[in-house]
Homo-oligomer: A and B are copies of this chain.
Amino acid sequence: MIDITMGSNVSLYQQIYEQLKNKIISGELEEGTRLTSTRALAKNLCVARNTVESSYAQLCVEGYVSSKPGSGYYVMNVADDSLFTDLAPPMEKSSEKVRAVARVESAEYTHDFQFYNLEHASFPFALWRRLSAEALASFDARKICFYNDKQGEPDLRAEITKYVRDSRGVRCTPDQVVLCCGTQHALDVICTLFHDGNRKVAVEEPGYDGAKIIFKKNDFEILSIPVGPEGIDLDELERTSTQLTYITPSHQFPTGVVMPIHKRVQLLQWATKRDGIIIEDDYDSEFRYHTRPIPSLHSTDTNGRVIYKGTFSKSLSPGLRMSYIILPEWLLPKYHTIFAGYNATISWFQQKIISLYMERGHWERHIRKVCLHNKKKHDTLIKAIHEQLGDRVRIHGNNAGLHFLLEFVQGEKQEWLIEKAREHKVRVYPTLPYWHRKERCRENFILMGFSMLSEKEIVEGIALLKKAWFEQQ
């Protein structure tokens, strides 16, 4: 039984999603139960059918239900419900337009399917200028001459606290936030905190190479755990003696896999039992295009086992060099002891600008705009691939983020694919760097992103790739 309130602040989609999720968590809807069909529920509630479909799709991508084609949606096993906390409502999208896109020239490539740098047309230059002037004229400006709080400015930490609560369901206080100059610095801080442990860390295989470098730098032994269709293999994790694991549960890098809710619950149980810590790298969670964002692992954690890591690099600008971690409360005394003699790492000026930017609501609007813009590019790219490359390729990990994997069904190898593309001045990327044990890498995959190309360039680029890969002998 679902009750909906018309004209409420909470969207119909949201009401249906929340009530069904709560029924599943509470056990009212048991494992294996078939949900009312979308058509029937829409009729009962007098709402549009695609509203119900959106709610079901979201439950599906988060692992609460599974869809059997031609049969319907069934409730999944979500295990220990005591771990659940209320989730904040995900952010809504707007239909604001994004400015036209410019492109950076590169001698070697005309079309670069990269996934890390952003289009500069998306950056709010004029606003940044205004806020810079305002920051320098503020009373606070005297702090530009001080060694400031090593955790970051309190105002900015308060803004981040609000943002992660509203968008990612992360509940914390500003005291738990530590600002860092990039993901690598964030991981370095975490390594320093666990310097006294057994210095082993489980990482995803394949996984983000930039993270492994930092663990190695800190003399951590790296245990690579295979990633399957539901994220890292928890049985293999169980067999290791590590207490620390580093994962990207909401959009695994680079495979794009989402860890479903029953696996998340198991992972949290592992951490509780093992007195372990899970580093959740939520690097591009803002960008999910055909369902709502997936709540963070942190939002499901009631035992303080998760260190959440967010970044401004994917949604605003990597050139700002700014990320943040959210430490569990019990870890704060240790943090303050170990970091007592440390200085801040981020310029006061930049912190102040971003703080004003968030405080005034620009950040939220920016995310909506950029998400919509990225969705268009994403959909254009997927469509172009289907039309041009057809069933010679399979797409893995799409509908989210700024990249996905392309599998070549006839077994073409990444080295050849990259070289052929290069001959046509198109750049695509290998997956090999993300494998710790290189021999495990499946070579008929490449990595493609769309963070720097316009829709027009995307279509052109795929046409060139078709030529490069399938039309020359």
| A residues adjacent to B (C-beta < 8 A) | 102, 104, 116-120, 122-123, 125, 128-129, 132-133, 136-137, 141-148, 181-185, 188, 192, 195, 209-210, 213, 217, 219, 313, 317-322, 341-350
Contacts and interface: CB of A to CB of B under 8 A. Distances in A.
B125 A146 contact: no
Given A120-B142, A123-B144, 14 more contacts: A102-B142, A119-B145, A120-B141, A120-B145, A125-B136, A125-B137, A129-B136, A146-B319, A181-B181, A192-B217, A213-B342, A320-B347, A346-B347, A350-B350
B317 A144 contact: yes
Contacts of A348: 319-320
B219 A219 contact: yes
Contact of A132 (B129, B195, B343): B129
A104 B342 CA distance: 23
In the assembly, how many copies of this chain are there?
Answer: 2
Given A145-B118, A347-B321, A341 B133 contact: no
A147 B347 contact: no
Chain A to chain B: the 5 pairs with minimum beta-carbon distance, closest first: A120-B142, A319-B348, A118-B145, A132-B132, A144-B319
A147 B320 contact: no
Contacts of A125: 136-137, 141, 144
A129 B136 CA distance: 7
Contacts of A342: 184, 210, 213
29 contacts: A117-B146, A118-B145, A119-B145, A120-B142, A120-B143, A123-B144, A129-B132, A129-B133, A129-B137, A144-B317, A144-B319, A144-B320, A146-B319, A148-B319, A181-B181, A183-B343, A184-B342, A188-B188, A210-B342, A213-B341, A319-B347, A319-B348, A320-B348, A321-B344, A322-B347, A345-B345, A346-B347, A349-B350, A350-B350
